[in-house]
Structure 1
Amino acid sequence: MTENERGRTLESGALKALAHPLRVRIYDLLSERGPQTASTLAQLIGETSGATSYHLRALAAQDLIREVPDRGTARERWWERPKGRINLPGPADATTPASRAAAQIVTAEFMRLRHQALMDYLNRSESEQAEGWQDAGLVMTTMLDITPEQMAEVSRQLSEVVDAAIERYAGQESLPGARRVTLRADIFDLPTAGRRTSTDKE
């Protein structure tokens, strides 16, 4: 497995640089929409270009984003998020209180944006859906009774499906009819409090 396939686990400095709601939003927009300038990001977020420029430089200092080569001018620089996945350490994996706090902020903001994107999709009217895309999405929830080993196996299978899709459809940004989509795969154990057992009566 290559370093790009394994992804980059964010170290303390990168976590602290990202631990700001506006920077998480900028990072997310660069993932979602591709290269942007401070001005275009300012319009999308509703901030000044001075503010977005400041946050872009902070992200670039930790190699979280980079300037797009051979594009833009000295006055209008284009920025992109490098390809490849990033891994956020859980709060328990961070080595210092400051790192744990940063990990919590970054994770919470990513999850908030992720949930907002899902709700925006679910609440989208039919007239706002592009032709051919109305029935292409899938939001599915089911419940399983499985062991930790079985859950790890399902997680591995889901990861293989996602990795295969990433490899199969890489480089299609300019393909006619293609648009950016978000792919989600969730599996986690539920709290046991109040869980019904096989001895509970119907």
Structure 2
Amino acid sequence: MTHDTKTPKPRQRNAVATRDRILKIASKEFAAHGYDGARIDAIVARCKISKNLVYHYFDSKEALFIEVMERAYGAMRERQNELALTGEDPVRDMRELVEKTVQHFIDQPEFHQLLSTENLHKAVHIRKSKVISEMFNPLRTALSTILESGKQKGVFRRDADWVDLYVSISGLGSYFITNRYTLSYVLDVDLGAADRQQSRLRHASDMVISYLCDRSAEAA
């Protein structure tokens, strides 16, 4: 009797695990030292593998960095997939989207460091990715859909633009993380404290909803 089911070979499983470990450690290296400062030798040492093995999976340092960025954007997409949008209440939907986005920023501080180094390079690396734009599309669609729903129901101001809105959400959710050490010192607070982070979640969503529901500003 023959069986059609094939069991994955141990070597294949090990290859996936090794590749995943390289990406995780490379992400930390790029986040800590930037693209220019990151060293393949440091990644190799922390992975405890040979340099040849790194170049077996990734053609170059740039190729490795692009996949690190794809992994980072992929994590954001996974958080977006957690959204439970009903379409019936645009205010509730928008609050959830804002809070999920800000929570992701809180949970993934390395993401901001990776974005910082990529902005220094004017997005030259992610432009070479074939998947990052597609990863961002669900968030763009969700945001524009909720915004349009709120406009149609007469809840949100009609002059609101989804691009401006996303930039504002990103600013509200990321600035207190990227500048948490200097701000914590000059403001004499611990912006990394759990209660402060929860307060920031509510504040960010309140700010966005206050703007969107301010219909009095439409005439102006």
- TM-score w.r.t. structure 1 length? 0.30
Higher strand share: 1
